Amino acid sequence: MKKTFTVGWLYPDLMNIYGDRGNILTLLKRAEWRGFDAKLVELGRGTIKRMEEVDVFFFGGGQDREQALVYEDLLEFKQPPLEQAVNNGAMVLAVCGGYQLLGHYYQTAEGEKFPGIGMIDVRTEAGKKRFIGDVVIDTEIETLNPKTLVGFENHSGRTFLGPKARPLGKTRLGYGNNGSDGMEGCLQGTVLGTYLHGSLLPKNPHLADYLIRNALIRHGVDELSPLDDSVELAAHERILSRAQHH
Amino acid sequence: MIRKTAAVWAGKATGALSRITGRGGGTTLPGDVARAIDPRILTKLSQDLTKGSIVITGTNGKTTTARLITWLLEGAGYRVVSNRAGANLIFGATAAAINTAGPDGRLRADWGVFEIDEASLPKAVEEIRPKATLVLNLFRDQLDRYGELESIAKKIESALSALPDGSTAILNADDPRVAEIGLGLKKPPLWYGLDDTSVAARELPHAADARTCPKCGASLHFEAVYVGHDGVYECPNHDFARPKPKITAKHIKLEGFDRLTTDIDHTHIEIPLGGLYNTYNVLAAFAAARTLGLDATYISERLRAFRAAFGRQERLEFRGRHLNLVLSKNPAGFNETVRTAVDLAKGTCFLIGLNDRKADGTDVSWIWDVDFEHLKGKAKVVVPAGNRAHDMAVRLKYADVKAEPPETDPGAALDSLIKATSEGDTAHLLCTYTAMLDLRAELVRRGWAKPYWKT
């Protein structure tokens, strides 16, 4: 019997602003191409159905109006099963708004604090200038090859890491978490937060495989069969070479 | 007065220079120069118009709709000034007025038809003081430049609230975000919308944006989905619903990219434009033309002979292939052109051009919201082109669509298309704005097309 691989998409209708579907498709296809039975569980408002089956959760960005609706739902429904799943080894990829909501809080320019669910040790404050553009980072994840991650950022939040979180990487191009400490994203246990979209995973197939592999270890899968990534890596390479001309 | 004339002269000289030096059609720079000399130049020139102006905004369809309205007004014998080449910032509108003005600095025209970028609308309305303002739709587009949909919606809202007395807002009732703006206006707008569920889908596409009730936050229930998130909707708690449109398009029949027929307000319309998205444009133009005083029977006759704007849907012959150039710049627009090309025009050969320059949007992540999966099994040839051809190649791979190698150079992309197709084939070139300009420039260079400012 085929082994299954399940992606859980948190709020596909509300938190889906920067081509987040690219991340979902990449996870599903790369599992499917390796013979897994790849499944998608859509986790809209008010449902926690099948959250315990999820291997990789994806939590994307949204607009302010939607983000407020999502926060309510997270507290009311999703937080306990999400924490449970993470404790059992499920991976989480959170981008932009999703990244902020998993942290301690988001503080507006007026000083008002919107609490997050505190799953990761990060806090975010509103900044004046919006950080928009291509990003290249050198990642801190030892097993990744190539070492670079490429993407596009568009955020005004400044995110700072606490002692429990470590950065996803150092920015070579772009602003990253806050534009001041040269760091981008965060890693804490099985949760990976970042401002990179573009979409992130299609042009970083090695990161997609990292998420898939680490989620499947608990099901006794230790190696993923190699795929031909020449098309993906050519797109990755294009951004790297453009970065050198900046 | 002297200042106005000086501004017009300086602007005109700039435009002439930019054409001579081959820097393009001089479609915006003259506006920059003239506005530097006289910041009120657009207001002054607008006051010269004998009839007044109409301003058109929205994410998709501005250029085609403006062109339709111009076509209708010109056919009725009016002199029209319009910013034709897709130069839709305030500078482009100014440049258009300058180019039409005489050497005495006076604008001798009856109507101004201005397509205006959503973000520039408040300024444009303030300066032009239009008779009518048309808002077509609000889709997700170029988040890098505009920010989120919400901030654009706020700008449109403030512009419409500040319309002068006697000015009409003409709004698409089928777009939830546009409807929300219109329902809050003091003076009721003129609503239009489609009314033919036979051309509707039941489910929202991946690219939909405004799906929640502005009052209670519940997900909107859609009875019909026409284009993107435009359709017939209501809040499940009855807090919000599509306003009842006064002008509707019924009995819609679509024939590929070639033709559409529909009955608008009891008038039969037949026009050589394809796709459901163009039905919206025709409906909007009809509503606008009626508001500006044109007769329904005349509109019907005149539309039969319409010609589309460059690159919006342009036919060119190229080495024995029939090229169909279609501007496709955001998820809602792209989904419609793909759907029209595959389902209605039975297209099998494609070139998909993706650029990430400022005018296209520097963030290309939106391509993941386009259902390129629709090409799977139907497209025989797909050439990914543009300076982000490699991103497009990845997108196609994950849609299980077999594609040629990515070609960033427009000449190489066209050569690849020739190599993969045969004489007599029709190829659909679906491209973002500057990718379209690049391909067209290459076709001009090879002698297969005219420069765009001459079309």
Each domain of chain B, given as residue ranges in start order, spans 2-303, 314-447
Whether chain A has a CB inside 8 Å of the CB on B229: the answer is no
CATH of domain B2-303: 3.40.1190.10
Contacts with A133 (C-beta within 8 Å, 6 or more apart), sequence order: A152, A153, A173, A174, A175, B144, B362
The pLDDT of residue B1 is: 66
Which pLDDT tens digit goes with each residue over B403-429? 999 999 999 999 999 999 999 999 999
pLDDT by residue (tens digit) across A168-226?
A: 999 999 999 999 999 999 999 999 999 999 799 999 999 999 999 999 999 999 899 99
Give the whole-number percent of chain B exceeding pLDDT 70.
93
Would residue A186 show up in a list of annotated catalytic residues for this protein? no
Q: Do A202 and B398 touch (CB under 8 A)?
A: yes
| DSSP 8-state assignment for residue B72 | H
> Which residue among A96, A104, A155, A186 is the active-site one?
A96
Name the fold adopted by B314-447: Protein-Tyrosine Phosphatase; Chain A (3.90.190)
| A99-108 per-position pLDDT tens digit | 999 999 998 8
Specify whether A96 is catalytic: yes
Quick one: pLDDT at residue B256? 84
Extract long-range pairs of B288-291: CB within 8 Å, 24+ residues apart. Answer: B288/B54, B288/B56, B288/B65, B288/B69, B288/B132, B288/B134, B288/B170, B289/B69, B289/B72, B289/B73, B290/B247, B290/B265, B291/B131, B291/B132, B291/B168, B291/B170, B291/B190
Q: Do B391 and A235 touch (CB under 8 A)?
A: yes
Spell out which residues of chain A touch residue B388, defining contact as CB-CB under 8 Å.
238
A25 part of contact set with chain B, CB < 8 Å: yes
Segments making up each domain of chain A, as ranges: 4-244
Extract the tokens encoding A194. 């970042």
Closest by alpha carbon to B420, among B435, B401, B403, B408? B403
Contact B366 A19 (CB under 8 A): yes
Peptide bond into A199 cis (omega under 30): yes
pLDDT tier at B210 (50, 70, 90 boundaries)?
Answer: low
- Confirm or reject contact between B239 and chain A (CB < 8 A): no
What's the predicted TM-score (pTM) here? 0.84
User: How many angstroms separate the CA of residue A227 from the nearest CA in chain B?
Assistant: 13
Give the residue ranges of DSSP H helices in chain A. 21-32, 64-73, 79-87, 97-102, 205-216, 230-244
Any idea which residue has 């051809």 for tokens?
B389
| Structure tokens belonging to residue B34 | 């003239």
Long-range Cβ pairs for the range B149-156 (8 Å, 24+): B149/A63, B149/B177, B149/B209, B149/B210, B150/A63, B150/A64, B150/A65, B152/B118, B152/B119, B153/B177, B153/B180, B153/B181, B155/B118, B155/B119, B155/B121, B155/B122, B156/B57, B156/B118, B156/B121, B156/B181
Chain B residue with minimum CA distance to A231 = B394
Rounded CA-CA distance B291/B264 in Å is 14
Interchain contact B218–A (C-beta under 8 A): no
- Residue A186 and residue A192 in contact, taking contact as beta carbons nearer than 8 Å: yes
Lowest mean pLDDT among A79-93, A168-182, B8-22, B74-88: B8-22
Q: Is B182 helix (H, G, I), strand (E, B) or coil?
A: helix
In angstroms, the CA B54 to CA B130 distance is 5
Q: What is the average pLDDT score of chain B?
A: 90
Sequence-separated (6 or more) residues with CB below 8 Å from residue A151: A134, A135, A194, A195, A196, A197, A198, A199, A200, A203, A204
Residues A158-168: pLDDT tens digits? 999 999 999 99
Would you say the ipTM is above 0.85?
Answer: yes
Any CB–CB contact under 8 A between A222 and chain B?
A: no
Segment A63-86, tens digit of pLDDT: 777 788 898 899 999 999 999 999
pLDDT of the residue at B257: 84
At B102-131, the pLDDT tens digits run 888 899 999 999 999 888 999 999 999 999
B146 has pLDDT over 60: no
The CATH architecture assigned to A4-244 reads 3-Layer(aba) Sandwich (3.40)
B144 dihedral zone (left: phi>0; alpha: psi -120 to 50; beta): alpha
Query: What are the tens digits of pLDDT across the range B301-356?
Result: 999 999 766 566 788 999 999 999 998 988 888 998 998 899 888 999 999 999 99
**Of A104, A197, A206, A236, catalytic:** A197
Binning pLDDT at 50, 70 and 90, where does residue B20 land? low
Report the distance separating Cα B53 and Cα B357, nearest Å. 31
CA B14 to chain centre: 27
